[in-house]
Chains A and B, each alone.
Chain A
Amino acid sequence: MKDKIHLACIIDDDSIYINLIKKIIETKKLCENLLVFNDGKEGIEYFEALLQNLDEKNIPEVILLDINMPIMDGWEFIERFTKIKNKFNSHITLYLVSSSIDVRDIDKAKSLSTVENYLVKPVKIDELEAVFNKTA
């Protein structure tokens, strides 16, 4: 098995969900560090700022992105992120994680090349492990 992921990023407005994911990551030792943003806007601002000062240890290898968030939703985040993702010199794998089972959301996610996969909440522990192991 390859090295563990050193940095992952969660963008989600549901604090209970974030705590649970944190807990799983801790218990299963899935990655060393975790970045958390409560909204797409905070998330994209982080990545856009990162471009000014590309430090590899600040670039997450995996992003778990929610769709429904109050200020900037997942779709808009993807739109802006797609414009800059090639400037990071390293591959960032993006997963959409949402409780939406709306076919329109799922189809839209499939049509976007930036999205690696669409996970429907509740995420299973082994699903999450698979995401981290695959990326690592």
Chain B
Amino acid sequence: MTESALKQNLIPDKKIAYWELNNNTSFWSKAFIKQLKFKPREVDTSLNYFLDSIIHENYREAFKDNFYNLVRNDVDFRQKLLLKNRSGGYSEFICKTNDELKISLNKESTKTIFFFKSKLKTHKKVRDNNFYYLETATMTSTGSWYIDFEKKKSYWDDITRKILEYPEDFIPSLKMAYKLYSEEHQALASSAFFECSLSGKPFDLEILMVTAKNRKFWARAMGKPVFNDNKEIVGLRGIFQDIDDIKQKELYLEKTSKIIETQNSRLFNFAHIVSHNLRSHSSNLSLIMDLIGDVESKEEKLELINNIKDVSNSLNTTIEHLNEVVTIQTNAQQSKEIVSLSKTLDQVTTSINQIIKSKKVTIVSDFSKGDKVNYIPAYMDSILLNLITNAIKYKHAERDPLIEISTLLDFKDNDRLVLNIKDNGSGIDLDKFGDKLFGMYKTFHYNEDARGIGLFITKNQIESLNGEINVASIVNVGTTFTIKF
């Protein structure tokens, strides 16, 4: 019997395999029973029997969900499934409900599931299917797991054991579950599992896992609840997939794109600075030319020509400064070497020994948390020199400069080395000057030797090596510069 014949008749025919449900009765058509090679009355037509003894386990969960949805929520479905006949062989069927067939049987409250036998031979298919599942699982490094709440046990397949680097005969337990996740992700894992087991909310996470050999790797963890016939959650099932390769590439890309982004914004900034700084000179030049054309006397014209010399000098200075910045960017490609902070500090203090003595500067240093960093030595020199001379230059009028230099490891940021340079100077009003502090040609004090280039250079040197510099300051108390290498 075909689908079209069924549609024409609109009434279930003797030759049609179907399963009819009406309130508490469950009826299998003769044709259905015959196709399963049973004799009428010999077969138990209950859902449980169907699930336990007839449907192939690979299709069981999906069918159960569909079945409950049909009975309780009137949701129609179609599904492929394998059914076992009395002699143990499997046949493939497509099952469909009323709506899927676009027919109306005019029977209120009766639900009918029709079974159409597929033409494919099956025994081999089951074997093939298993083969393909295993192939797919192996090639995609996807292992599956099951947690049984009633038996309080968890089960892993071979691939789960393999990606977690546990021996083939390892028996997992619920107690060890937290050990599977990296410390920083344990809370994430436990809340996902907890929520799934309580409210049935499925999860799909990218999470850092830890293998038996204590190796961390990125995994995709998916899970969903398993229901019993009373729709109670009795377990969780899901997969772990090793996505370390992909995730590492993703993280690397993310990092690269961040570096490119900051480089780009630095370049943009620099282009802006170049254009602005050169424009002010060129506009002075054109104003001078304008005036030369306007004045009458020779003396006045000569005097203006002298002005060109001034413009030319300051243009040169500007270009030297810009050059200094460009050199930083190119020098960043230079080879780094292990630099000792304490040794660099010694060199710097020796070189400015005169100033230190005359201004009665005290420098206290503590590099016990970290003294060595892979860096361009000339930059380290320049950074320390700049920040120390700044601290001296902007000392408090009423006290001798005290500069405290120390390092620490930032545990929140992969134990990056952080250098703190703290002074007791006059401080900077950061509310006013914060965003300009590291800008070019910005000075914040009426000191004559302030040329507004030092901190700009320092920041560029640090950033060209992918570091960060930040500042905290209180007026009349002092300033602390924090450098992350």
Do A and B assemble together? yes
User: Judging by beta carbons under 8 Å apart, are A16 and B284 in contact?
Assistant: yes
User: Judging by beta carbons under 8 Å apart, are B286 and A122 in contact?
Assistant: yes
Residue on B with the closest CB to A27?
B295
User: Judging by beta carbons under 8 Å apart, are A14 and B290 in contact?
Assistant: no
User: Judging by beta carbons under 8 Å apart, are B284 and A20 in contact?
Assistant: yes
Residue on A with the closest CB to B294?
A125
B291 within 8 A of A: yes
A135 within 8 A of B: no
User: Judging by beta carbons under 8 Å apart, are A121 and B280 in contact?
Assistant: yes
User: Judging by beta carbons under 8 Å apart, are A121 and B444 in contact?
Assistant: no
Chain A residues lying within 8 Å of B286, measured Cβ to Cβ, are 122
- On whether A124 and B290 interact (CB within 8 A), knowing A19-B307, A20-B307, the answer reads yes
Cα distance A65–B272 when bound, in Å? Answer: 21
User: Judging by beta carbons under 8 Å apart, are A70 and B441 in contact?
Assistant: yes
B279 within 8 A of A: yes
User: Judging by beta carbons under 8 Å apart, are B279 and A101 in contact?
Assistant: yes
Residue on A with the closest CB to B279?
A99
Cα distance A122–B288 when bound, in Å? Answer: 10
Residue on A with the closest CB to B304?
A23
User: Judging by beta carbons under 8 Å apart, are A20 and B288 in contact?
Assistant: yes
B311 within 8 A of A: yes
B459 within 8 A of A: no
* Shortest beta-carbon distance from A101 to chain B in Å: 7
B276 within 8 A of A: yes
User: Judging by beta carbons under 8 Å apart, are B294 and A71 in contact?
Assistant: no
B310 within 8 A of A: yes
> How many B residues, CB 8 Å from partner?
30
Within A96-136, which residues are at the interface with B (CB < 8 Å)?
99-102, 121-125
Chain B residues lying within 8 Å of A125, measured Cβ to Cβ, are 290-291, 294
User: Judging by beta carbons under 8 Å apart, are A99 and B280 in contact?
Assistant: yes
Within B276-304, which residues are at the interface with A (CB < 8 Å)?
276, 279-280, 282-288, 290-291, 294-295, 300, 304
* Shortest beta-carbon distance from B372 to chain A in Å: 38
User: Judging by beta carbons under 8 Å apart, are A70 and B442 in contact?
Assistant: yes
A68 within 8 A of B: yes
Q: What per-residue 1/0 map shows which CB atoms of A1-41 lie under 8 Å from chain B? A: 00000000000001011011001100100000000000000
User: Judging by beta carbons under 8 Å apart, are A27 and B294 in contact?
Assistant: yes
Chain A residues lying within 8 Å of B284, measured Cβ to Cβ, are 14, 16-17, 20, 121-122
User: Judging by beta carbons under 8 Å apart, are B287 and A123 in contact?
Assistant: yes
Residue on B with the closest CB to A21?
B287
* Shortest beta-carbon distance from A126 to chain B in Å: 9
B452 within 8 A of A: yes
Cα distance A99–B314 when bound, in Å? Answer: 16
* Shortest beta-carbon distance from A19 to chain B in Å: 7
Cα distance A17–B443 when bound, in Å? Answer: 20
B411 within 8 A of A: no
User: Judging by beta carbons under 8 Å apart, are B276 and A24 in contact?
Assistant: no
Q: For B284, B310, B450, which residue has the most chain A Cβ atoms within 10 angstroms?
A: B284
Q: What per-residue 1/0 map shows which CB atoms of A46-81 lie under 8 Å from chain B? A: 000000000000000000000010110000100000
* Shortest beta-carbon distance from B377 to chain A in Å: 32
Residue on A with the closest CB to B451?
A70
User: Interface on A for B, CB 8 Å cutoff?
Assistant: 14, 16-17, 19-20, 23-24, 27, 68, 70-71, 76, 99-102, 121-125
Task: Provide 9 A-B residue pairs closer than 8 Å at the C-beta atoms, listed in order of the A residue.
Answer: A16-B314, A17-B280, A20-B307, A24-B291, A70-B441, A99-B283, A100-B279, A121-B287, A122-B287
Known: A101-B279, A121-B280. 4 other contacts (CB 8 A): A24-B291, A68-B276, A99-B279, A122-B286
User: Interface on B for A, CB 8 Å cutoff?
Assistant: 272, 276, 279-280, 282-288, 290-291, 294-295, 300, 304, 307, 310-311, 314, 432, 441-446, 450, 452
Lowest 9 A-B CB distances belong to which pairs? A122-B283, A121-B283, A99-B279, A122-B286, A70-B443, A99-B280, A122-B287, A20-B287, A16-B284
